[in-house]
Structure 1
Amino acid sequence: MPLPRLFRTRPARLLLALALATAAAPALAAPPSDADVNRLLAASRAQTMLDGMLPQMEAMQQQQFAELARSRTLTPEQSERMQRIQQRTNQTMRQALAWSKIRPLYADIYKQTFSKEDVLAMAEFYESDAGQSLLDKTPQLMQNLMVAMQAHMQPLLADLQKDLDTILAEPSGN
């Protein structure tokens, strides 16, 4: 069937194509289903990754408490209370970040952010040998990046320390 005379010019055909593409866009960007998101979360080992982050977060928190304790002279009672607060904080953090509470948050955010096509493509990737290799090597990659970043930042931090020492050595009131 030939196009109506109105759509025989190039600009009119482009406008028609744009209108048809725009009308079809919502159908192309269908939201993922719960099953799609669950597949991706399982394939990407999201729960394992979250569970692996908890000890790191607790270690960072423990360092903060230790620094706080070192910066003050604490009585044995204060030290004991601080330890109880730290334990309670760890427990609260573990409860708040439990997979049963976080999984719905992940699912909602994935649904808001990605289309069904995106989620299925990511799930296929993570289910592939390459995706599994990426997941297996990510912790080592992150550790290597942290070491490299610290080495990269060391000269900058040394320069900042020199500047700070110079500022602190200046007489006050100037």
Structure 2
Amino acid sequence: MKLFPQLLLIGSCLTANLTFAAPASDQQIQQLLNVMNLDTLLQETIQKIRPQLDQQAYQIVKMTVKKDQLNPQEQIVANELSDKLYAQSQKTVSWDQMKPLYQKIYKEVYSAEEIQAQIDFYSSTVGQSILKKTPQVAQETMALMNTRLMSSMQTTADDFKEINKKLDTLKKAAKNK
């Protein structure tokens, strides 16, 4: 009979490590968002990626008109498209839109201990330095991604030209039957 209490104690010890970490509180998450200055960081990031949005707009117009150089009217349209992309990006990532999403995600993903570790880190000089460089990282990442996407879009357009030729051939063959 003494074996059962011992097994119960051993089982309790083994499962103690499997207990879940405490969830982060709303107050902790708010503190982290404040320390990270996410509202400012988002706006700085959007400002930094403006040149890539401009480039994207010009590429879209160039592909649409199938020209390497845009005439003044086409440049005006590209500028308008760029302004619209920028305004939409600002609206999409406005703090009012993003804050509830960040709160939800951080609460679901991180434990209280992990949130506190982030608060401690981002409160440090090194953490603040890293945060200040985040918009630059986003800008450079976006520039690289745009280059790759534009190349991919051109390849895709070329692929569709080939497929459209084959489809036209099939349509002609079907009409001749």
TM-score category (smaller protein): 0.5 to 0.7
Q: Compared with structure 1, are the counterparts of its residues 134 and 79 closer, same or farther at alpha carbon in structure 2 (3 Å cutoff)?
A: closer
Superposed displacement of residue 101, structure 1: 0.8
Match of 2:99 in 1: 103
Question: Quick one: distance in 2 between partners of 1:93 and 1:139?
Answer: 14
Equivalence map 1:20-31=2 (5 Å): 20-22=16-18, 25-26=19-20, 29-31=21-23
- CA RMSD after TM alignment: 3.1
Match of 2:34 in 1: 42
2:118 pairs with 1:122: yes
2:47 pairs with 1:55: yes
Q: 1:112 corresponds to which letter in structure 2?
A: E
2:11 pairs with 1:19: no
Q: Compared with structure 1, are the counterparts of its residues 83 and 104 closer, same or farther at alpha carbon in structure 2 (3 Å cutoff)?
A: same
Contact 2:24–2:111 (CA under 8 A) maintained in structure 1: yes
CA-to-aligned-CA distance 1:102-122 (integer Å, 9 cap, x gap): 111111111111011111121
- The alignment's TM-score, normalised by the length of structure 1, stands at 0.63
Contact 1:126–1:132 (CA under 8 A) maintained in structure 2: yes
Match of 1:64 in 2: 56
Q: 1:125 corresponds to which letter in structure 2?
A: F
Contact 1:54–1:94 (CA under 8 A) maintained in structure 2: yes
Q: 2:14 corresponds to which letter in structure 1?
A: L
Q: 1:47 corresponds to which letter in structure 2?
A: D
Question: Quick one: distance in 1 between partners of 2:121 and 2:13?
Answer: 33
Q: Compared with structure 1, are the counterparts of its residues 79 and 65 closer, same or farther at alpha carbon in structure 2 (3 Å cutoff)?
A: same
Match of 1:6 in 2: 4
Contact 2:45–2:135 (CA under 8 A) maintained in structure 1: no
Q: Which moved more, 1:50-59 or 1:74-83?
A: 74-83
Superposed displacement of residue 89, structure 1: 1.7
Match of 2:24 in 1: 32
Question: Quick one: distance in 2 between partners of 1:135 and 1:90?
Answer: 22
Match of 1:161 in 2: none
Q: Compared with structure 1, are the counterparts of its residues 118 and 4 closer, same or farther at alpha carbon in structure 2 (3 Å cutoff)?
A: farther
Query: What SS does the corresponding residue of 2:24 show, helix, strand or coil?
Result: coil
The unaligned stretches of length 5 or more in structure 2 are 145-177
Q: Percent identity?
A: 26
Question: Quick one: distance in 2 between partners of 1:136 and 1:76?
Answer: 38
Q: Compared with structure 1, are the counterparts of its residues 136 and 69 closer, same or farther at alpha carbon in structure 2 (3 Å cutoff)?
A: closer
Query: What SS does the corresponding residue of 2:32 show, helix, strand or coil?
Result: helix
Contact 2:45–2:134 (CA under 8 A) maintained in structure 1: no
Contact 1:7–1:16 (CA under 8 A) maintained in structure 2: no
Q: Compared with structure 1, are the counterparts of its residues 129 and 80 closer, same or farther at alpha carbon in structure 2 (3 Å cutoff)?
A: closer
Question: Quick one: distance in 2 between partners of 1:91 and 1:18?
Answer: 55
